[in-house]
Chains A and B, each alone.
Chain A
Amino acid sequence: GQNIDQPTEMTATEGAIVQINCTYQTSGFNGLFWYQQHAGEAPTFLSYNVLDGLEEKGRFSSFLSRSKGYSYLLLKELQMKDSASYLCAALDSNYQLIWGAGTKLIIKP
């Protein structure tokens, strides 16, 4: 079957760095998305990786290893507004997104 695993909850300190991991098993693979979702709001796109390696976009970076079925989202210089859920989703061979349950990130002052 198809499966996405990511931690349920993480806590970090304002100004610090946090890494949110995601492992995936899908029927075929056409890329890995990360979305941010604040409580009570819609998910918004953060990043997309289809090739191995690190993609940097400001304070956020996303890494992909296709051979290991593994990705991570790295958030630097954490701000209180980064408190949100982070959703990992893999695009399968039918171009449908398979979603993880999300990682709730709590930022403490």
Chain B
Amino acid sequence: IAGITQAPTSQILAAGRRMTLRCTQDMRHNAMYWYRQDLGLGLRLIHYSNTAGTTGKGEVPDGYSVSRANTDDFPLTLASAVPSQTSVYFCASSDSTGPYNEQFFGPGTRLTVL
């Protein structure tokens, strides 16, 4: 089934540990995004990639890094996790940036940093 997969589904992590959240899409979409969703707040963009080989910073990039080595994969790394990074993380993709391009979301990763 075409779509976006994320791994892990959930994770409990000790503060200070390094963690990589995985995201893979099979729709050959050019653009990919990482969001975090916290209670009472809208989705906030962490990093994005308009096409393979390029990345950009979103609204809340500090403490996170991404890479886009190919079209399908867009991993998000927390170099040294802190409790404020406890959140639900969604990966999304769209055919391209610009109008009319809806974003498709993965199922999310629920991360708890203790």
Interface residues of A (CB under 8 A from B): 4, 30-31, 33, 41-45, 48, 50, 87, 89, 91, 95-102
Query: Interface with A: B22-30, B38-46, B60-68, B78-86, which one?
Result: B38-46
Instruction: Name B's A-contacting residues (CB within 8 A).
Output: 40-45, 48, 58, 90, 97-100, 102-108
- B42 touches which one: A33, A50, A95, A99 (CB < 8 A)? A99
A43 touches B90 (CB 8 A): yes
How near does chain B come to A67, taking the closest CB pair, in angstroms?
A: 18
Q: With the chains together, A102 CA to B40 CA distance in Å?
A: 8
B45 and A44: CB pair below 8 A?
no
Determine if A42 and B45 form an interchain contact, defined as CB atoms under 8 angstroms apart. no
Check A101 against B40 for contact (C-beta < 8 Å): yes
Asked whether A4 and B100 contact (CB < 8 A) given A42-B90, A42-B107, the answer is: no
How many A-B pairs have beta carbons closer than 8 Å: the answer is 47
In the complex, A102→B106 CA distance in Å?
A: 18
Contact of A95 among B98, B105, B107 (CB under 8 A): B98
Closest to B91 in A: A42
Q: Check A43/B100 contact, CB under 8 A, given A96-B48, A96-B58.
A: no
Q: From residue A38, how far is it (CB to closest CB) to chain B in Å? A: 12
